[in-house]
Structure 1
Amino acid sequence: MKAPRETPPTNTLLRLALLIIFAFGSSLSIAQQEKLMLHFEGGDGPGQGKKIVLIAGDDEYRSEEGLPMLAKILSTHHGFTTTVLFPIHPENNEVVPNYKSNIPGMEALEDADLAIILLRFRELPDEQMRYFDEFLKAGKPLLALRTSTHAFNYSAESTSPYAKYHWQSKFPGWEKGFGRKILGETWVAHHGHHAVEGTRGLLDGIQDATNNPILNGVQDIWAASDVYTVTSIGDDASVLIHGASTSGMTPESPINWKKSLMPVAWTKSYALEGGKKGRVFASTMGASVDLLSEDLRRLIVNATYWGLDMGPQIPEMANVSIVGNYEPTMFGFDNFQKGMKVSDFE
């Protein structure tokens, strides 16, 4: 006669089932709660009630590091509510700067008052890109840094209605694409010797003499990224700062006077066909290591106020102290921090 099979007590089975359900539920909850963007509520300051979206999306100058730092300055010291978007690999939700076709959260632009971008050679799906296009048609203010002159790069086979944004576009009215049409210039060349020469910012004397509030408290800018060639920024553009190439990669490096000066920060207006007129601040500086310059951070914060038509509220010496730790990675291709999730940049 066989011995009866022992079965676990009912309460043991129940506990086991509850553990399995809890484990499954917890993992599902974690997956659902995984952040694909950062959000910082505005503190005290003139920017209360204003929403700013910062879009990181370049594969060289570590915008995924620099823009969250700027967002925290804008929200903590100036009261703006900020949201930061990132290039995300859809297979693992990691921040992968050289994954060029996915920036979740672009719908945040719908109720944004201003956007700050550092993009390079993106080809976003139409369902994401349409929010950026609508943002520009609404004539909302835009701040564009460094490689944003060549923010988009569509394949020759693309049938997207946004292929006209391509940095070498030949579409009528969009020649040279987004950079030339909206910012005033597309990618041309490195005027300085890349990774050998930096940029010394020289304030435009006319703008300085007229007390342009964007230059409030701005005196000393040195950026590790080199000067870009800029040939055409439009008749309505006002150059705020010219860039001189430095013979070396430290703030103490002397200026290389054999090279001509180039605009490195300017303002202008823009308008899309059938859209409202908007205002732009553009700078060919803005790498994460460039933002170690206090006055470059101040220039960008001041330009944010200007973009939002808050010129009279620009502080004489805006607080741009870094919130938390900031140890930016030197620019370069494929040297981004691997395995990072959005929450790692909080």
Structure 2
Amino acid sequence: MSAGILLQVAQTLLAILLAPLLMGWVNQCRAWLQGRSAPPITQPYRSLRKLFHKDAVIAHTASPLFRFAPYMKFACMALAAGIVPTIANDLSFSPAADVIALVGIFALARVFLALAAMDIGTPFGTLGARRDMLVSFLAEPALLMVFFTASLISQSTELPIIVATLAHKAFAIHPSLAFAAVAFWMISVAENARIPVDNPSTHLELTMIHEAMILEYSARHLALIEWAGALKLFTYSALGIALFLPWGIAPQGDIAALPLALAAIVAKLAVGGAALSFMEVVSAKVRLFRVPEFLGTAFLLAVLGMLIHFLLEG
């Protein structure tokens, strides 16, 4: 097995194993900032272990789709995490690490979970699925505009080439990336069901989006969905680092830089998780009818970044 394939597998396993730790760090920082007793940083691992040891309770009206959706969502998130450069830019499957394909993987996982939420026929599941599809309908075009801005700079839609252009070549200032970074943050909090778009710790029927879709799940199915949610947050964090803070990612063929790259990604994720917690503490959840305005602003900022690239950098 070549070194590139080994690195590809290692990055995927690293994301799968560290994703619950990142979620635990975010929850811990949020509790500290709110003046509450913080749970252990390893609490997500304990919760997953507890859920995997329980027996699943499934409604009699559930179809095979309901059982299959958690596995599909976890597989999609693992695949997405595997094609994003995390510690090294040496990816054997770099032609598949395309930003447009990445958006498609996120959309595929969302569609399966939304269909499974409506499969049982409960009001909450259908409500959550409709709201989640509304958010995705607004977030995906904005995410594509962010990717297109980075693609125009690197003249490629492959993530390894984008990282190599932004991090491993001559230093250049790209004002367009500043607007794209703000738009990406707004999209990221919406896609990961975080404040101000959604609150992951609430079960109020008037406000919840993602939680409404998984109320009928239990045991191993719920564990896979929760793990996939943490993996999605990790993937978006790694994606933001690859696009806007790529310094420290080991260049292709430089095995000696891997320890420093691993330390760099851990430090960046720790700072990013603390920043996410701070933004959630100082922000309030917006009304559902204000979410289109929030994501519309993200789309406009992303488009503005593209226009600035053509005007100032082209």
The answer to whether the superposition gives a TM-score over 0.5 is: no
Q: Which has the higher contact order (CA 8 A, sep 6+)?
A: 2
TM-score normalised per structure 2 = 0.30
Q: Which has the larger radius of gyration?
A: 1
- Structure having the larger proportion of residues in helix: 2
